[in-house]
């Protein structure tokens, strides 16, 4: 048996009046995801425990079968794992966004989706000026980076940091980190603004009419997690494909092979066809492949209706279609699952804890009567899983 899970991050949405009270998924042309529903099952699953924030790390951990209530320790440690940064017991890893602020307002959580080359220069500049034996900066991709700080009484149980994409057009000063010794984090953020505002790269970005990366925002804090490997848990070998450090880091921690695909950017221009090719190639040697696509989530955060519909259609055409064709021609048994990790509604421009729809097809999966893939139709299905763990156990259950 071969297994594949395809995740269009944040694809799920709410009905939109402009679309005749339909969701972007309902409007988009998705013949391949519809084929999965027509030949398999449509259902719903809860990927976000009620007590946790509806973040991509929580949701994808859940989809992979690891209970976030038991294993989740923060986004930072997952990204550290992918960057090869080993955390000592007294170190805390933070996700570090390059952001754009004006006066006291959070303008852009991604600094105009700054290029990785520009960002690397800025992060290394901050490390030279703010880094020490107590604090280190590590460049990642585009606006997503890492800061590791020695724990000097931070008390993670009480430290509260807000994701910058939840602060768009809001007063960020009122949403600074809160908790014991949070001043350590706030001071770093304030000092970064002083340094970055007058950096030559940002002067050029302003001249070009682009959003400057004039501040860092720290969040997603945590210590190194301890998790069983995927092989130990499910007795299957596997690989993960994503452009996002937190997904790749999660894969590394649980022992999946992380496949880096040329042209995978984590944005609208990502080479999705290459992701599918590499994923199908991985199944020659692996039992399982997990492919994560970020573009649908970015469109949701950007509030871009046209791009969300387009990203859904590209995902269907360039990722889902190759897997459908591959499995239909395969002589071996297979199962294929398509599932958004969470909803990122255009009306809210952030994640929600709503249940998400999923479509599954393959050996011993009996059709449950639906003809198209959508959030609204999934509400009519009597197939529901209360956790991601229960869904993947069903997915892997022997026929």
pLDDT at 84 over 70: yes
User: Hey, what's the torsion of the CAs at 318, 323, 326, 332, to 10 degrees?
Assistant: 170
Pairwise CA distance, residues 140 & 117, whole Å: 10
Residues 171 and 233 in one domain: no
Average pLDDT over all residues of the chain: 96
* 292 and 372 both lie in a single domain: yes
Convert the pLDDT of each residue in 226-240 to its tens digit: 999 999 999 999 999
Which tokens sit at 6?
């395809």
Task: Answer yes or no: do 103 and 178 share one domain.
Answer: yes
Do 194 and 270 lie in one domain? The reply is no
Backbone angles phi, psi at 46, to 5 degrees: -95, 115
pLDDT, tens digit, for every residue of 101-138? 999 999 999 999 999 999 999 999 999 999 999 999 99
Please give the pLDDT value at position 26.
98
For residue 349, what pLDDT band results from cuts at 50, 70 and 90?
A: very high
| Residue 34 · residue 309 · CB < 8 Å | no
Residues 176 and 54 in one domain: no
Last residue of a domain, one of 190, 222, 254: 222
d(CA 74, CA 148): 13
Question: What is the phi/psi pair of residue 41, to 5°?
Answer: -125, 150
pLDDT digit string (tens) for 208-229?
A: 999 999 999 999 999 988 999 9
Range of the domain at 343: 2-72+226-396
pLDDT(154) > 90: no
Same domain, 109 and 38: no
pLDDT tens profile 241-267: 999 999 999 999 999 999 999 999 999
In this predicted structure, the answer to whether residue 32 has a pLDDT above a threshold of 90 is yes
- Percent of the chain at pLDDT exceeding 90: 93
**256 and 311 co-located in one domain:** yes
128 shares a domain with 239: no
Nearest to 112 by CA among 209, 234, 218, 5: 209
Q: For the domain that residue 52 is a member of, what is the CATH number? A: 3.40.720.10
- pLDDT level of residue 38 (50, 70, 90 thresholds): very high
- Of the residues 194, 222, 250, which one is the last residue of a structural domain? 222
CA atoms within 13 A on the CB side of 364: 8
* Model pTM score: 0.87
Q: How do residues 164-184 score in pLDDT, each as one tens digit?
A: 999 999 999 999 999 988 999
254 and 371 belong to one structural domain: yes
Task: Please tell me whether residues 99 and 59 are part of one structural domain.
Answer: no
Residues 306 and 241 in one domain: yes
Residue 317, both tokens = 């055409």
Element (H, E) at 95: strand 91-102
The answer to whether 336 touches 324, Cβ cutoff 8 Å, is: yes
Find residue 293's DSSP bridge partners. Answer: 8
User: Dmax of the chain from CA atoms?
Assistant: 62
User: Of 222, 247, 269, which marks where a domain is finished?
Assistant: 222
pLDDT at 157: 81
pLDDT bucket at 320, cuts 50 / 70 / 90: very high
Q: What is the tens place of the pLDDT at every residue in 273-295?
A: 999 999 999 999 999 999 999 99
Q: Are residues 60 and 29 in the same domain?
A: yes
Buried b (16+ CB within 10 A) or exposed e, 5-26: bbbbbbbbbeebeeeeebbbbb
pLDDT of the residue at 163? 93
Q: What's the pLDDT at 268?
A: 96
Q: Which band of pLDDT confidence, cut at 50, 70 and 90, is reported for residue 399?
A: low
**Amino acid 181: pLDDT:** 86
pLDDT in tens, 288-314: 999 999 999 999 999 999 999 999 999
Is residue 356 within 8 Å of residue 12, measured between CB atoms?
yes
pLDDT at 321 over 70: yes
The per-residue pLDDT for 158 is 86
Look at residue 247 in the predicted model and tell me its pLDDT. Answer: 95
The answer to whether 33 and 370 have CB atoms below 8 angstroms apart is no
Let me know if 323 is exposed, middle or buried by CB neighbors in 10 A (0-12, 13-18, 19+): buried
- According to the model, what pLDDT value does residue 337 have? 98
Q: What is the per-residue pLDDT for 327?
A: 95
Mean pLDDT of 75-92: 93
Beta strand pairing call for 356-362 and 41-45: antiparallel
Split into its structural domains, the chain has a count of 2
Count helices and strands (H / E) in the chain.
Answer: 16, 13
When pLDDT is cut at 50, 70 and 90, the band that residue 325 belongs to is: very high
């Amino acid at each position: 048996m071969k297994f594949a899970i395809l995740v269009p991050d944040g694809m799920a949405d709410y009905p939109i009046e402009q679309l005749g009270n339909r969701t972007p998924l309902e409007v988009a042309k998705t013949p391949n995801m519809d084929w999965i529903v027509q030949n398999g099952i449509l259902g719903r699953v809860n990927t976000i425990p009620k007590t946790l924030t509806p973040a991509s790390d929580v949701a994808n951990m859940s989809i992979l079968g690891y209970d976030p209530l038991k294993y989740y320790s923060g986004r930072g440690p997952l990204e550290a794992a992918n960057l090869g940064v080993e955390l000592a017991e007294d170190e805390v890893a933070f996700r570090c966004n390059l952001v754009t602020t004006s006066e006291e307002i959070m303008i852009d959580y991604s600094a105009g989706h700054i290029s990785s080359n520009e960002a690397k220069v800025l992060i290394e500049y901050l490390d030279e000026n703010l880094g020490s034996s107590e604090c280190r900066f590590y460049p990642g991709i585009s606006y997503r980076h890492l800061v590791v700080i020695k724990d000097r009484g931070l008390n993670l149980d009480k430290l509260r940091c807000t994701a910058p994409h939840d602060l768009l057009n809001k007063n960020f000063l009122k949403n600074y980190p809160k908790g014991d010794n949070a001043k350590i984090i706030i001071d770093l953020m304030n000092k970064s603004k002083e340094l970055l505002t007058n950096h030559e790269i940002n002067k050029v970005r302003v001249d070009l009419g682009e959003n400057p990366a004039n501040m860092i925002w720290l969040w997603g804090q945590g210590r190194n997690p301890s998790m069983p490997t995927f092989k130990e848990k499910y007795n299957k070998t596997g690989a993960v494909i994503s452009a996002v450090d937190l997904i790749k880091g999660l894969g590394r921690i649980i022992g999946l092979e992380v496949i880096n695909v040329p042209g995978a950017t984590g944005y609208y221009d990502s080479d999705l066809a290459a992701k599918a090719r590499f994923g199908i190639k991985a199944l020659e040697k692996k039992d399982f492949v997990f492919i994560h696509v970020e573009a649908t989530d970015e469109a949701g955060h950007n509030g871009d209706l046209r791009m969300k519909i387009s990203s859904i259609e590209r995902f269907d055409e360039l990722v889902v279609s190759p897997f459908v064709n591959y499995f239909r021609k395969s002589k071996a048994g297979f199962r294929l699952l398509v599932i958004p990790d969470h909803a990122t509604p255009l009306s809210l421009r952030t994640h929600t804890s709503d249940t998400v729809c999923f479509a599954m097809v393959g050996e011993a999966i009996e059709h449950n009567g639906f003809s198209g893939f959508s959030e609204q139709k999934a509400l009519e299905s009597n197939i529901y899983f209360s956790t991601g763990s229960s869904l993947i156990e069903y997915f892997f259950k022997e026929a």
